[in-house]
Amino acid sequence: DEVVEARALKWRTCGDGIECATLEVPMVHDDPSQGTIRIALNRFAAAPEGRIGVLLVNPGGPGGSGVDLVEDMGWLLDMVVPGFDLIGFDPRGVGGSSRVSCMEDLDDQVFVLEDGEDPTVLFELAEVVSAACFEGSGDLALHVGTNNVARDMDLIRQALGEEQISFLGYSYGSRIGAVYAALFPDRVRAMVLDGPVDPAEQVSSVSPVQGQGFEDAWSNFADWCDVDALCGLEAHGGAEVAFFAADALLVEGDLPAGDRVLTRGEFQMGVAMALYSPYTWEQLGQAFTEVLEAGEGWIFQSLADMMMGRRDDGTYDGSQDVNYLVNCADDPLRPSQESFFVALDAVADTFEHFGPAFRAMSGCGALPESVDPLHVAPAVLAVPALVIALEGDPATPMAWARGLTDSIGDAVLITSDGEGHTAFLSNSECVTDVVIAYLVDLVAPEDGWSCVEGEGLSD
Q: Give me the percent of the chain exceeding a pLDDT of 70.
A: 96
Average pLDDT over residues 115-128: 86
- Residue with the bigger pLDDT between 101 and 105: it is 101
Q: Name, in order, each residue with C-beta under 8 angstroms of 256's C-beta and a sequence gap of 6 or more.
A: 262, 295, 296, 297
Over residues 431-443, the pLDDT tens digits come to: 999 999 999 999 9
- CA angle (394 as vertex; 370, 266 as ends), nearest 5: 80
Q: Distance from CA of residue 163 to its chain's centroid?
A: 28
Give yes or no for a contact between 364 and 203, defined as CB atoms under 8 angstroms apart: yes
Alpha helices in 196-318 (DSSP H): 209-227, 239-252, 264-274, 281-294, 298-308
Q: What is the pLDDT of residue 5?
A: 43
Q: What is the pLDDT of residue 103?
A: 81
Q: What is the pLDDT of residue 455?
A: 66
Query: CA distances (Å), 446 to each of 115, 130, 181, 410, 418, in order?
Result: 46, 45, 20, 12, 19
Query: What DSSP character marks residue 98?
Result: S
Q: What is the pLDDT of residue 132?
A: 94
Sheet of 53-58: strand order equals 12-15, 18-26, 36-44, 84-89, 53-58, 165-170, 188-194, 385-392, 411-419, 450-451, 457-458
Cα 94 to Cα 319: distance, rounded to the nearest angstrom? 7
Residue 261 confidence class, pLDDT cut points 50, 70, 90: very high
Q: Is it the case that residue 64 has pLDDT exceeding 90?
A: yes
Q: Is it the case that residue 28 has pLDDT exceeding 90?
A: yes
Within 13 Å and on the Cβ side, how many CA atoms surround 113? 22
Average pLDDT over residues 301-317: 92
Q: Is it the case that residue 212 has pLDDT exceeding 80?
A: yes
Averaged pLDDT of the chain:
94
Residue from 215, 189, 443 nearest 348 by CA? 215
Q: What is the pLDDT of residue 454?
A: 82
Give yes or no for a contact between 328 and 143, defined as CB atoms under 8 angstroms apart: no
Phi, psi for 174 (deg, rounded to 5): -70, -30
Q: What is the pLDDT of residue 106?
A: 61
Residue 396 confidence class, pLDDT cut points 50, 70, 90: very high
Domain 2-99+143-199+374-458 CATH (choose: 3.40.50.300, 3.90.180.10, 3.40.50.1820, 3.10.620.30): 3.40.50.1820
Average pLDDT over residues 375-384: 96
pTM for this model (two decimals): 0.95
Over residues 222-240, the pLDDT tens digits come to: 999 999 999 999 999 999 9
Over residues 339-352, the pLDDT tens digits come to: 999 999 999 999 99
| Dihedral of the alpha carbons of 366, 199, 348, 141, in degrees to the nearest 10 | -20
- CA angle (76 as vertex; 98, 196 as ends), nearest 5: 60
Cα 153 to Cα 33: distance, rounded to the nearest angstrom? 20
Q: Give me the percent of the chain exceeding a pLDDT of 90.
A: 90
Q: Kindly list the domain boundaries of the chain, sorted by start residue.
A: 2-99+143-199+374-458, 103-138+205-373
Q: What is the pLDDT of residue 114?
A: 74
Residue 9 confidence class, pLDDT cut points 50, 70, 90: confident
Q: Is 442 helix (H, G, I), strand (E, B) or coil?
A: coil
Average pLDDT over residues 301-318: 92
Q: What is the pLDDT of residue 6?
A: 40
- CA angle (418 as vertex; 416, 421 as ends), nearest 5: 105
Residue from 61, 123, 145 nearest 364 by CA? 123
Average pLDDT over residues 139-160: 98
Residue 36 confidence class, pLDDT cut points 50, 70, 90: very high
